[in-house]
Amino acid sequence: MNSLKKCLALFFVLCLTLMSAACAKTGESLKNDIAPFGAPEKGLYPGSSRFDSVGGADYEGGSFDIPAETEGEPLSETPDDRQFVRPAGLITAAAWNENWHYDFWKSLFVKGQTEEDDGKFVGFYEKDRWGFDSTRRVSVTVKQGETPVCGAIVTCTDDSGAERFTAKTGADGVAYLFPEISDGTIKVKSGSFVAETSFSSEISDVEIQLDGAEAKQNHIQMMLVIDVTGSMGDELTYLQTELADVINRVAVANGEARIDLALLFYRDDDDTEKFAYYDFVNVNTTEGLNKQLKNLRGQRADGGGDTPEAVDEALELAMSKAWGDDNSTKIIFHVLDAPPHSNSHNSQRNYEQRFEAAVRKAAGMGIRLCPILCSGADLLCEYLVRQEAIYTGGTFIFVTDDSGIGNAHLDPNIPDAVVEKLNDLMVRVVDGYHTGTFADPVPWASPEQEPAKSN
């Protein structure tokens, strides 16, 4: 009997040993099959077997959640055991600067012989411009000798001395004015140094020399203004990962610069939480970076209910924050898929005038508005965000269908636009505005961006 008990005991011990070994092997295989956080991998998209194998089986219309334990952790830390977190670099997008391609921009407002020949925005120009007329522009370059002057205040006045448009020069020394008059006076001020000149419709590009100028500050102020209504649900969690990666990379790449980041999330009139704002925080520090990453990841797509959203109020609110009247780089990435309400929705609210006023104020403050157009946007939304970009010297960014992420995206039909990885594109744009020199875009499917192959 004792011998039988000993045999049974040995048998159970052997079974447990074999089961433990099998579990360990399975766990090791799963661990080896999961890409480390932050390491983009080709084919990691919803619907692919690779996506399902790393935790995407619960994906429903973009509702893939980042685990709570990763919130507040710097993205620069990439331990191998961080599992089920989507890597950055999946969303594809393209960028277009209307001011660099101004003749093409003006062609969008030209009326042709037939409707087929009309520019795509003719209807807005003829009927409802929302107060914008960007078809008459004066480009002003301010220099001290051969050195571009950054942060100079450039104002256009008419013959009566009334101010018509104000902008600030970027790191390249250029400011774009849209005064909607054919002639007037341009005044430039940098610190105590001033100059002025006249312009006419025949002179649309002006260069002004200053005897001196305030030095450019090594300071970046960046704000993310994000629509978080329900229609953003197909892309928001992807965007959170991309934007978190951008924040981290900008902080790392500009270690000697002070980088302050603010976050503004918005929905619409009848939503319980219409706005959520997190003020500027220095993200050069681990504490500041973690704080804003946690705030970013804490948002979920909800509310809205109709196509227009509280865009005008969101931009008004953004302009009221502590940007500072300093000579720093100021950028807003405006992430959205719907336009503001029009006056026809409620004529007492002056939606259109408020939106235009916020854009003009951004130009005067030297804030570059860089809209990121997401899935589901219509022609009105495209028209308005491209106006906010050109008026402020910003960059128009649009997410594309190339990645297969999210619902269908509007194609602006822009010639020669290069499709990039959104996170790489945004880092390139920030660096360009801060230094005055923009690197060339890198196509998202180029060999430089393909994962290294092992032999």
Beta-carbon contacts of residue 53 (< 8 Å; ≥ 6 apart)? 33
Question: By three-state DSSP, how is residue 409 classified?
Answer: coil
Based on its alpha-carbon atoms, the radius of gyration of the chain, rounded to whole angstroms, reads 26
Q: Would you list the domain boundaries of the chain?
A: 92-97+217-449, 133-209
Element containing residue 104 per DSSP (H, E): helix 102-107
102 vs 123: CA distance, rounded Å: 19
Is 92-97+217-449 assigned to CATH 3.40.50.410? yes
Quick one: pLDDT at residue 451?
Answer: 53
Nearest to 277 by CA among 351, 224, 238, 199: 224
CATH superfamily of 133-209: Immunoglobulins (2.60.40.10)
Nearest to 37 by CA among 3, 1, 88, 73: 88
Tokens coding 370: 């860089």
pLDDT tens, position by position, 195-232: 999 988 777 899 999 999 999 999 999 999 999 999 99
* Burial (CB count within 10 angstroms: exposed 0-12, middle 13-18, buried 19+), residue 104: middle
Total-model pTM: 0.81
Q: What is the DSSP string of 421-446?
A: EHHHHHHHHHHHHHHS-PPPP--TTS
* Burial (CB count within 10 angstroms: exposed 0-12, middle 13-18, buried 19+), residue 177: buried
Residues of the chain with pLDDT under 50: 1-2, 4-5, 18-84, 447, 452-455
Which residues, in sequence order, are bridge partners of residue 154?
A: 167, 188
Quick one: pLDDT at residue 336?
Answer: 97
90 CB neighbour count, 10 Å cutoff: 22
392 vs 386: CA distance, rounded Å: 10
Nearest to 92 by CA among 40, 20, 128: 40
242 vs 399: CA distance, rounded Å: 12
Quick one: pLDDT at residue 304?
Answer: 83
pLDDT tens, position by position, 397-431: 999 999 999 999 999 999 889 999 999 999 999 99
Quick one: pLDDT at residue 124?
Answer: 94
Query: What secondary structure letter does DSSP report for 334?
Result: E
251 vs 281: CA distance, rounded Å: 12
Quick one: pLDDT at residue 255?
Answer: 75
Q: What is the DSSP string of 199-233?
A: E-TT--EEEEE-S--PPPPSEEEEEEEEE-SGGGG
How distant, in Å, are the alpha carbons of 133, 151, 194, 220, 368 from that of 191?
30, 10, 8, 20, 21
